Amino acid sequence: MSNDLLAALLIGFLGSGHCLVMCGGIVGALQLAMPAQSSTKKLFLQLTLSAGRLTTYAVFGAIVGYAGVSAMQLAGASMLWLRLVAGILLIMMALYISRLWFGLLLLEKAGQTLWQYVQPVSRRFLPLDSLTKAYAYGLCWGALPCGLVYSALGWSLASGSASAGAALMLAFGLGTLPAILLTGSAAQLMSKLKSHTAVRYTAAAMLAIYGSYTIWLAIKRMVF
């Protein structure tokens, strides 16, 4: 499981360039929605906002993880089938991070219906003038359609339990934090680092190898 958590953290970090595209405008708007106050208070609001988002990720991961193991038990099937799916998803995410394939973006359309209901609720918490409002808005923000998040959720399906699914999504969410929290020159420097071809291809290769290993282990145990 520790290897899965490290892989999830890496995916969140390297895939957060997409988070900046999806959420950068939101982050900028939320900055304006925070009343004038000290930089320390704004930092606390930003951290609380992200805590809400990560909470939603963890809850979704727990639900999906529990659903996966329950479905396999009801069907009398082996969890190895879900591990096989997890390996395939890891390879798909590796291709996305390497920018060789953007099929994951199609998954975002599947979440548009949910977001149509969540977005009006989120507006009730503006302006973000308290930690309670920031956390509540973050909970809603976690439901923003994102192909990378949905793929990570699909991976959580094979985690084997609700707690493992939650941990996997929490690790993924933590990986996205630097891109969301950093601004200015620091954000630009991180963006350049993650955009460097060697960095992207090296990370993608590591994920693809781990995904292939996961598939190989699943097939080996099913056959033997």
**pLDDT, tens digit, for every residue of 162-221?**
999 999 999 999 998 887 777 544 555 666 666 677 777 887 888 899 889 989 988 988
- Kindly tell me if the per-residue pLDDT of 114 is higher than 70: yes
Place of tokens 């390996």: 87
For residue 58, what is the DSSP state?
H
**What is the per-residue DSSP string for 3-32?**
HHHHHHHHHHHHHHHHHHHHHHHHHHHHHH
pLDDT at 33: 59
pLDDT at 188: 58
- Kindly tell me if the per-residue pLDDT of 13 is higher than 70: yes
Q: Note the pTM of the prediction, 2 decimals.
A: 0.85
pLDDT at 191: 62
Distance separating alpha carbons of residues 169 and 12, to the nearest angstrom: 9
Angle (CA) 23 140 173, round 5° = 60
pLDDT at 20: 53
**pLDDT tens-digit series, residues 116-159:** 888 899 889 888 888 999 899 999 989 888 878 888 888 898 88
**pLDDT tens-digit series, residues 20-34:** 555 545 565 566 656
Distance separating alpha carbons of residues 22 and 123, to the nearest angstrom: 18
pLDDT at 193: 65
* CB contact at 8 A, 188 and 20: no
